[in-house]
Amino acid sequence: NGKSGRALRSTGQWGKRPSVRRCRSEIWAIIIDGTFTIDGSLFVRLGIASGSIELKRKRPIVPKLAANLSWLFTEVDFLERFNGAAQAGFKGVEFLFPYEFKASDIANRLQDNDLEVVLINAPPGDWSAGERGLGCLPGRQADFRGSLSQAIDYATAIGCPNIHIMAGIAAAEATDLFIENLHFAAAACANAGLRGLIEPINDIDMPGYFLTRPDQAMEILDTVASPALGLQLDLYHAARMGFDPG
């Protein structure tokens, strides 16, 4: 859910073990060097060694798409975009950072338009100063926890099940710190009945971003080993980093 300009997305959970699993939600699921199914019809194989992503369909299905209101219907103010999404036929929406608006106002717009929100981002730090998340920033653990707490309160108030936890701009040696913060996030999300997601974002569109590859993310998730954390897979970002979604 980085600012890469895509407005439509199929979002979802990443299976954390290299084995065959059935997706238990509306979400994309990936198994490293293995296969998973969605509704018994969509099969996806991620080959780390070959850098490929293979999608096959057993039978046609209509994917559930969420309108990203940070990118769509921008000709009207944010709170008016919910009506635009509903009028366009969407049943689900997502948005990046809604925190300048009251959660109650967003909850009312969702209810009035019979919409569900599937994803929000945790506050990323100081975006105008170049921060793109707090998960990997040394000395910012307290800020990370405060950001996550705000996101959990907000997600609970608007009925959003998923929170994108952005890693941030950091060097490769930030892995241990990110894992430490994700252990905290996993416990907090589990306690709230929510799921935290991490998303690899290509370092062409977001230079210096720490988490850039699906295999890197999978290794981190496997280390944390919590059902309250998953992978948000954006095939655009994966392709920009050399994975072949075809």
| Residue 95 vs residues 69, 73, 86, 121, 208: alpha-carbon distances, Å | 5, 12, 15, 7, 23
Looking from the CA of 88 toward its CB, the CA atoms found within 13 Å total 17
Structural contact between residues 79 and 70, judged by C-beta atoms closer than 8 angstroms: no
pTM (2 d.p.): 0.76
> What does the block give as tokens for 199?
């998303």
pLDDT exceeds cutoff 90 at 52: no
Sheet of 8-9: strand order equals 8-9, 66-68, 92-94, 116-121, 162-164, 195-198, 229-231
> What does the block give as tokens for 134?
């707090």
The C-alpha atoms of residue 194 and residue 196 are separated, in whole angstroms, by 7
3-state secondary structure of 78: helix
Instruction: Give which of 37, 35, 38 is closest to 46, Cα–Cα.
Output: 35
> What does the block give as tokens for 30?
């990936």
pLDDT tens string 149-196? 999 999 999 999 999 999 999 887 899 999 999 999 999 999 999 999
Instruction: Give which of 220, 218, 205 is closest to 169, Cα–Cα.
Output: 205
pLDDT at 168: 96
What is the mean predicted confidence (pLDDT) over 21-49?
A: 41
> What does the block give as tokens for 206?
């977001």
Lowest-confidence segment of 22-36, 141-155, 222-236 by average pLDDT: 22-36
Structural contact between residues 189 and 152, judged by C-beta atoms closer than 8 angstroms: yes
> What does the block give as tokens for 155?
């997600």
